[in-house]
């Protein structure tokens, strides 16, 4: 064994270990999705075979004969070894137990073969230096694989084989039973095709190759006359041409330097096969999962729209609350000024009303408007109260009725069943769960709305309390009080005192009486009222557009968490798993790419189908 | 021994029963599409019915001989040797013969007659030997007149029974069923192939005579082996031939149609094994050595001809009538076989139907609707409709009074209503809307229940039923269904439905309990008469507007009280003693009647739902399922069983005809 060979072997081992590790990691992700679970089981079975292959990566190849009864498997083995080692005969079936032919110096322990039911012969044939030869029983004399039947024995030995010598004749090359069996066995094996009985039969290799090419790579078929070859060897003659070709081919292709290439090809085939199969079922299942996601999305959209419209309606209905909130915010920002004092006074009264209305708040929207802290407490209380009464169907105060939830659960359960996602064990009926989820959803929704309301109010308040506006308002508001004060001062200082003193007036005018003060106070109140009214009108106008704005924005917004969080998570997982499967396949393909530099002239099961 | 006329009559009787049985089975099959039972037409016994018994029972006497065997064993070669000409192309490539070829004696060269014998094959006149290689998808039969054939003997070449071209198997099966004698072409490679053995085992079980011909035999090396081969073959197929033929592996002789067939008599040895009777073997060995020697070409030809002739002669001297009888009888026996025949199939049908019956529980789709959970229609709406109904029946004066109070009440109540932002009509609408929502929820729950039920049903049904159900349960389909139901439900005018129910209930009451009805009518009129009084009293007590507002909520109680009070008043005013006798207690009767009305309405709505579900979801599935589940009680099932019984009673009439002793005991075993 050369150093170069050893190096390739080490590199191959490393690469293989990496691949296996990657597969193992992928397997460990627990998936409930049916195609994924199925693929994991299949891959587990294959990786076990891959592991045994890895152990004997550089052990001699195990070559087994395969073919119908009477096609001359044992005769071929005898001819290959140059002596009668496996009994060949005219009665069917002749070989009823696998015969393992090994070199006399070989240690069988290292091969990892299961030797139950196998008859072992040791001899000193040149061919056996490189390979282990198994003469197998036939697959076509038994109807079923009953224990002890030839078929059962064959199936037990085949997974240990690296190369199958597929032996057939003019009579049997299109046998249905044997073709089926070969399809099962050929995964992970290289194939060598041999037509025997060259002395009696017509050469049908062309037709055979044509039929084989549908499912197999069959680059070459040998035509041999085993009996003649054995005779020739015994009598020391050179063997006939066809047989000599086969001998030479075996010597060249199954030698120790080819082992790695052959095993590597088998490994890749095995993995390729199982992953390709899995990919097909994934491709079939993924659109359904996609449809489920889409349905969930649609439902969420629908529920959202429902919630938004309810919210908008209620926002518009509870304008009074808005106004008070806004007024309070404006007053807070205004600072100290005459008009702000007036506003404060009126909003103080309003606050009283607000706290009164708090007691009467019946909907969460109102609560959102009233304020977060108080609202949360109220909401919690309300829910506790409602949870106690089981019959309450409208737990959700945003008015998502049960029938919408029922509809949602109906649709989703169907899509889920179609997608192949199992229904998890539920303690409570679907409707109850949905309701709870909805409440959670609503919390986050209301949280968003509450923040939005806060923002809107502070934005409006900001605009309402710009310095210019404040000065103007104060100024205009103060006009009347100033007028009254001026009027009073004029009367007190000038008319009753200074004017007569300075002789400007003949008589001192009398002091203003109640007749003046009553209308003055009255008009003061009217003035205040007018001021408040005008201010409130502006407030209201702005509010109207703010509410509209808010409602529009809500209708566009997104909810953070859906109605079916677990299911969505599962879908997400499936998507990720599909991606990982693709990357695994890419790794296997990479593994195969290294193979192409040492193309094998051996037959195999086609992997492109 | 019964006379030939008796036999003939028996066969004719048998034929009429078999034909009736066939028709009944087809009828039964129509009913059980939803059961997980394989179709009758996929069963071996059904094929025997259509391919053997119906075409051949009671017809003219003939013997069908077919050459059968594995691919490339030389069936076509043997066939050609028998015929003495190249009638079916022999190809060195496997699975070459794709269509059967039939040689017909001159007397039977009538396409119509042949079509009668092979009803399921497309008959074509033979042109060339290559016809048999035709790759047509249809099952064809190439026929040719052959004068050398003795009268009443049809000779067929068949496709293989073991290659990967599976349609060849099916075609060979068709010929196997029609045949009376099968020439089994065996080779040392194939005599023990499971698939080949299965074919001949089935043929033997159905009473076919099997003549083994070992082809491509190496003589004399194989001389000691062929009895062993034959023993294995017989052990595994159950046949017991007395003669076998050996054809040597001689390609040149085969190509020149001079392949010899060496006849070997088989005598059962003491240990039951097959023994080659020495004398005959000795003769043939001489024969072979003579053929190998440098005899002249003509000599060889006659010898070889004598060899092929031996097989032909053997065929000609076969007891045609008896073999024909045995194959027909074997087919009937296979038909009534408890394990593989019609009885087994009927048992399957019965079991599947029982399973389905258990699942459906004899329930109809309306059984899925929980009437007790149906929401009750809002009382206020009912009362409203009732009032409306009475109003139309009141005399003009009462109508006028009520109308006046209606308007007055509305005017008076206006401010109250405005304050509460709830109008009377609005409240009613709201109640109905709420009811509609509740009803919709129940409909959805019903759909869910139906789906669960369907899923259970799918487990007990055939693939066809499963397909149908899974298409019903597909996510898109369910979504569509919900959308359609919702649309229908929204469009449904509940008010009118309610009116219809009230109308019919009231009319029924008028018919069934005229006294109560009369009293109520009077009460209603009287209520108009006393209206000013009650209104004034209630209003002055502060109940007027408030009471009116309360009405939709506590309507039932108010109504009861009102009727009670008014009934009492009315009784007093009208001096009507009948009230107490006719209506034991005004309120009690009314309550009953009211509940009945609600129930009536729920029923009507449920019926609506059932109809919708049927129309847009289930279709005729429930009906078909019911039919399939109850098929055991159906006329068709019983008819099949009856015909089968009749066939069984006919069987002993044939058993008296003497046939080979061993064969009879075999067939009797089958019958048991």
**Coil vs helix vs strand at A61:** strand
Give me the residues of A, 39-98, that contact B with CB < 8 A: 68-71, 90-93
For residue B209, what pLDDT is reported? 93
Of A69, A200, A414, the CB nearest to B192: A69
B189 vs A contacts (CB less than 8 Å):
68-71, 92, 169, 171-172
B445 with B397: CB under 8 angstroms? no
For residue A209, what pLDDT is reported? 93
Report the distance separating Cα A66 and Cα A72, nearest Å.
10
Give me the residues of A, 211-250, that contact B with CB < 8 A: 211
Q: Which two tokens mark B207?
A: 């009473």
Of B73, B198, B445, the CB nearest to A171: B73
Q: Is B469 exposed, middle or buried (0-12, 13-18, 19+ CB in 10 A)?
A: buried
Q: Which of B251, B473, B478 to mutate to test the interface with A (most CBs of A within 10 A)?
A: B478
Beta strands, E only, B294-423? none
Residues 6+ apart with CB under 8 A from A176: B162, B163, B164, B166, B195
Which numeric CATH code is attached to B44-316+332-340? 3.40.50.300
ω into A93 cis (within 30 of 0): yes
For residue A576, what pLDDT is reported? 92
Picking from B195, B235, B203, B212, the residue whose alpha carbon sits closest to that of residue A141 is: B195
A69 vs B contacts (CB less than 8 Å):
189, 192-193
B482 vs A contacts (CB less than 8 Å):
407, 410-411
Three-state SS sequence of B581-626: HHCCCHHHHHHHHHHHHHHHHHHHHHHHHHHHHHHHHHCCHHHHHH
Are A174 and B445 in contact (CB < 8 Å)? no
- Closest CA in chain B for residue A73: B189
Report the distance separating Cα B384 and Cα A419, nearest Å.
50
Q: Is B289 exposed, middle or buried (0-12, 13-18, 19+ CB in 10 A)?
A: exposed
A-B Cβ pairs (cutoff 8 Å, strict)? 125
Are B164 and A69 in contact (CB < 8 Å)? no
B70 vs A contacts (CB less than 8 Å):
171, 175
Are A200 and B437 in contact (CB < 8 Å)? no
Can you identify the CATH homologous superfamily of domain A54-281? P-loop containing nucleotide triphosphate hydrolases (3.40.50.300)
Report the distance separating Cα B156 and Cα B121, nearest Å.
13
For residue B473, what pLDDT is reported? 84
Of A169, A174, A403, the CB nearest to B441: A403
Report the distance separating Cα B349 and Cα B38, nearest Å.
9
Are A171 and B92 in contact (CB < 8 Å)? no
> Taking the CA of residue B5 as centre, how many other CA atoms within 13 Å lie in the half-sphere pointing to its CB?
0
Extract the residue ranges of chain A whose pLDDT is less than 50.
1, 357-362, 372-373, 385-396, 427
Helices then strands (H, E): number in chain B? Answer: 26, 10
Q: Which two tokens mark B13?
A: 């009787």
A254 with A63: CB under 8 angstroms? yes
Are A92 and B93 in contact (CB < 8 Å)? no
Between strands A190-195 and A163-168, the pairing is parallel
ω into A326 cis (within 30 of 0): no
Of B164, B189, B232, the CB nearest to A171: B189
At which residue do the structure tokens 């224990």 appear?
A147
pLDDT digits (tens, 9 = 90+) for A557-566: 555 556 787 8
Of A71, A169, A410, the CB nearest to B444: A410
Are B94 and A402 in contact (CB < 8 Å)? no
Residues A565, A566, A568, A574: what is their CA dihedral angle, to the nearest 10 degrees?
160
Report the distance separating Cα B635 and Cα B638, nearest Å.
5
B478 vs A contacts (CB less than 8 Å):
410-411, 414
Cα→Cα distances B304→A145, A530, B75, Å: 44, 135, 18
Are A174 and B95 in contact (CB < 8 Å)? yes
* Mean pLDDT per 10-residue segment, chain B (672 residues): 64 87 91 84 90 84 91 90 87 87 89 89 91 89 89 91 91 94 93 92 92 90 90 88 90 86 75 46 40 40 58 88 88 90 92 83 57 74 77 73 68 55 60 84 84 81 82 84 89 86 82 74 60 45 38 36 39 38 50 76 84 81 81 89 89 56 40 40
Q: If residue B472 lies in a helix (H) or strand (E), which one and from where to where?
A: helix B463-472
A90 vs B contacts (CB less than 8 Å):
188, 221-222, 225
For residue A383, what pLDDT is reported? 56
A172 vs B contacts (CB less than 8 Å):
72, 189-190
Query: Structural domain boundaries of chain A?
Result: 54-281
Report the distance separating Cα A432 and Cα B121, nearest Å.
64
B484 with B55: CB under 8 angstroms? no
Are A174 and B163 in contact (CB < 8 Å)? yes
Question: Backbone phi, then psi, for A315, in 5-degree steps?
Answer: -60, -45
B255 vs A contacts (CB less than 8 Å):
none
Q: Can you give the pTM of this predicted structure?
A: 0.74
Domain with CATH 3.40.50.300 in chain B: 44-316+332-340
Are A414 and B451 in contact (CB < 8 Å)? yes
Question: What's the Rg (C-alpha) of chain B?
Answer: 43
């Amino acid at each position: 064994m050369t150093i170069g060979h050893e190096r390739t072997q080490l590199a191959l081992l490393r690469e293989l270990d990496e691949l296996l590790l990657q597969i193992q990691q992928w397997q460990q992700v627990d998936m409930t999705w049916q195609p994924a679970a199925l693929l994991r089981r299949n891959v587990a079975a294959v990786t076990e075979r891959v592991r045994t292959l890895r152990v004997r990566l550089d052990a001699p190849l195990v070559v087994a004969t395969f073919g119908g009864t009477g096609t001359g498997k044992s005769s071929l083995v005898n001819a290959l070894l140059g002596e009668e080692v496996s009994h060949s005969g005219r009665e069917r079936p002749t070989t009823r137990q696998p015969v393992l032919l090994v070199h006399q110096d070989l240690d069988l322990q290292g091969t990892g073969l299961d030797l139950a039911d196998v008859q072992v012969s040791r001899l000193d044939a040149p061919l056996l230096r490189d390979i282990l030869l198994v003469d197998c029983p036939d697959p076509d004399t038994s109807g079923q694989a009953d224990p002890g039947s030839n078929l059962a024995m064959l199936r037990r030995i085949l997974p240990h084989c690296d190369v199958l010598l597929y032996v057939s004749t003019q009579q049997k090359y299109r046998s249905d039973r044997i073709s089926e069996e070969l399809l099962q066995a050929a995964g992970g094996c290289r194939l060598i095709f041999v037509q025997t009985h060259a002395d009696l039969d017509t050469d049908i290799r062309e037709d055979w190759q044509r039929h084989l090419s549908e499912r197999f790579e069959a680059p070459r078929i040998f035509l041999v006359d085993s009996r003649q070859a054995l005779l020739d060897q015994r009598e020391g003659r050179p063997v006939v041409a066809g047989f000599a070709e086969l001998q030479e081919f075996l010597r060249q292709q199954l030698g120790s330097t080819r082992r790695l290439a052959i095993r590597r090809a088998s490994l890749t085939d095995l993995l390729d096969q199982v992953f390709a199969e899995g990919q097909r079922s994934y491709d079939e299942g993924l659109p359904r999962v996609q449809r489920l996601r889409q349905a969930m999305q649609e439902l969420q959209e629908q529920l959202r729209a429902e919630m938004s419209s309810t919210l908008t309606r209620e926002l518009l209905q509870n304008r009074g609350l808005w106004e008070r909130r806004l007024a309070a915010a404006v007053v807070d920002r205004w600072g100290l000024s005459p008009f702000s004092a007036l506003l404060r006074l009126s909003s103080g009264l309003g606050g009283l009303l607000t706290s009164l209305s708090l007691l009467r708040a019946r909907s969460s929207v109102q609560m959102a408007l009233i304020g977060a802290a108080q609202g949360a407490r109220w909401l919690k209380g309300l829910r506790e109260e409602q949870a106690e009464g089981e019959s309450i169907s409208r737990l959700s105060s945003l008015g998502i009725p049960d029938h919408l939830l029922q509809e949602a659960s109906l649709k989703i359960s169907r899509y889920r069943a179609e997608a192949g996602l199992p229904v998890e064990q539920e303690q409570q009926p679907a409707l109850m769960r949905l309701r709870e989820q909805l409440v959670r959803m609503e919390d986050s929704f209301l949280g968003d709305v509450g923040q939005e309301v806060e923002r809107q109010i502070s934005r409006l308040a900001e605009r309402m309390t710009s310095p210019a506006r404040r000065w103007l308002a104060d100024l205009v508001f103060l006009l009347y009080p100033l007028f009254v004060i001026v009027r009073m001062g004029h009367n007190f200082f000038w008319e009753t005192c200074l004017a007569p003193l300075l002789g400007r007036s003949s008589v001192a005018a009398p002091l203003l009486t109640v007749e003046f003060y009553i209308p003055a106070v009255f008009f003061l109140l009217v003035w205040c009222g007018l001021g408040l009214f005008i201010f409130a009108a502006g407030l209201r106008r702005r509010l109207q557009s703010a509410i509209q704005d808010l409602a529009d924005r809500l209708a566009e917004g997104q909810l953070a968490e859906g109605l079916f969080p677990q299911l969505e998570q599962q879908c997400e997982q499936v998507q990720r798993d599909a991606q990982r499967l693709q990357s695994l396949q890419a790794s296997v393909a990479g593994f195969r790419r290294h193979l192409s530099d040492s193309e094998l002239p051996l037959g195999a099961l086609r992997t492109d189908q | 021994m019964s006379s030939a006329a008796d036999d003939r009559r028996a066969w004719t009787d048998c034929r009429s029963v078999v034909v009736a049985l066939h028709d009944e089975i087809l009828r039964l099959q129509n009913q059980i599409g939803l059961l997980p039972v394989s179709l009758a037409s996929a069963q071996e016994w059904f094929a025997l019915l259509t391919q053997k018994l119906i075409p051949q029972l009671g017809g003219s006497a003939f013997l069908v001989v077919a050459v059968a065997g594995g691919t490339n064993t030389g069936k076509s070669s043997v066939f050609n040797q028998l015929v003495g000409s190249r009638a079916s192309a022999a190809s060195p490539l496997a699975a070459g013969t794709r269509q059967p070829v039939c040689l017909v004696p001159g007397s039977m060269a009538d396409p119509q007659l042949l079509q009668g014998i092979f009803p399921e094959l497309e008959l074509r006149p033979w042109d060339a030997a290559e016809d048999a290689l035709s790759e047509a998808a249809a099952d064809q039969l190439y026929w040719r007149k052959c004068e050398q054939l003795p009268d009443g003997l049809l000779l067929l070449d068949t496709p293989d029974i073991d290659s990967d071209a599976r349609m060849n198997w099916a075609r060979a099966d068709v010929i196997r069923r029609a045949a009376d004698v099968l020439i089994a072409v065996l080779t040392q490679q194939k005599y023990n192939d499971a698939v080949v053995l299965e074919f001949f085992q089935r043929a033997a079980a159905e009473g076919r005579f099997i003549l083994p011909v070992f082809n491509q035999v190496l003589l004399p090396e194989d001389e000691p082996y062929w009895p062993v081969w034959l023993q294995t073959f017989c052990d595994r197929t159950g046949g017991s031939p007395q003669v076998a033929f050996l054809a040597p592996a001689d390609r040149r002789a085969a190509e020149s149609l001079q392949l010899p067939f060496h006849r070997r008599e088989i005598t059962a040895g003491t240990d039951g094994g097959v023994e080659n009777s020495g004398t005959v073997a000795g003769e043939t060995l001489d024969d072979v050595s003579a053929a190998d020697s440098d005899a002249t070409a003509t000599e060889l030809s006659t010898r070889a001809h004598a060899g092929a002739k031996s097989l032909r002669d053997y065929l000609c001297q076969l007891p045609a009538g008896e073999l024909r009888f045995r194959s027909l009888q074997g087919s009937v026996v296979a038909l009534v076989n408890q394990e593989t025949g019609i009885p087994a199939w009927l048992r399957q049908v019965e079991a599947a139907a029982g399973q389905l019956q258990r699942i459906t529980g004899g329930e109809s789709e309306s059984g899925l609707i929980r009437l007790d959970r149906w929401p009750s229609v809002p009382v206020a709406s009912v009362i409203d409709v009732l009032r409306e109904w009475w109003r139309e029946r009141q005399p003009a004066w009462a109508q006028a009074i009520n109308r006046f109070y209606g308007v007055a009440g509305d005017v008076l109540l206006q401010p109250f209503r405005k304050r509460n932002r709830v109008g009377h009509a609005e409240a009613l609408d709201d109640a109905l809307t709420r009811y509609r929502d509740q009803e919709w929820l129940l409909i959805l729950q019903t759909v869910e229940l139906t789906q669960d039920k369907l899923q259970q049903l799918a487990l007990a049904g055939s693939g066809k039923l499963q397909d149908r159900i899974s298409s019903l349960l597909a996510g898109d389909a369910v979504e569509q269904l919900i959308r359609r139901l919702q649309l229908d439900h929204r469009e449904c005018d509940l008010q009118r439905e309610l009116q219809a129910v009230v109308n019919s209930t009231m009319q029924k009451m008028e018919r069934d309990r005229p006294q109560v009805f009369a009293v109520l009518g009077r009460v209603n009129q009287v209520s108009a008469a006393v209206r000013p009084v009650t209104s004034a009293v209630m209003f002055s007590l502060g109940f007027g507007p408030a009471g009116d507002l309360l009405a939709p909520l506590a309507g039932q109680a108010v109504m009861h009280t009102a009727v009670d009070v008014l009934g009492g008043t009315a009784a007093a005013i009208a001096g009507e003693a009948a009230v107490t006798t006719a209506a034991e207690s005004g309120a009690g009767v009314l309550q009953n009647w009211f509940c009945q009305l609600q129930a009536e309405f729920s029923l009507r709505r449920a019926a609506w739902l059932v109809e919708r579900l049927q129309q847009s979801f289930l279709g005729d599935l429930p009906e078909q399922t019911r039919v399939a589940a109850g098929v055991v009680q159906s006329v068709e099932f019983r008819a099949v069983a009856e015909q089968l019984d009749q066939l069984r009673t006919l069987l002993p009439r044939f058993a008296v005809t003497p046939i080979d002793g061993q064969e009879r005991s075999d067939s009797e075993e089958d019958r048991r």
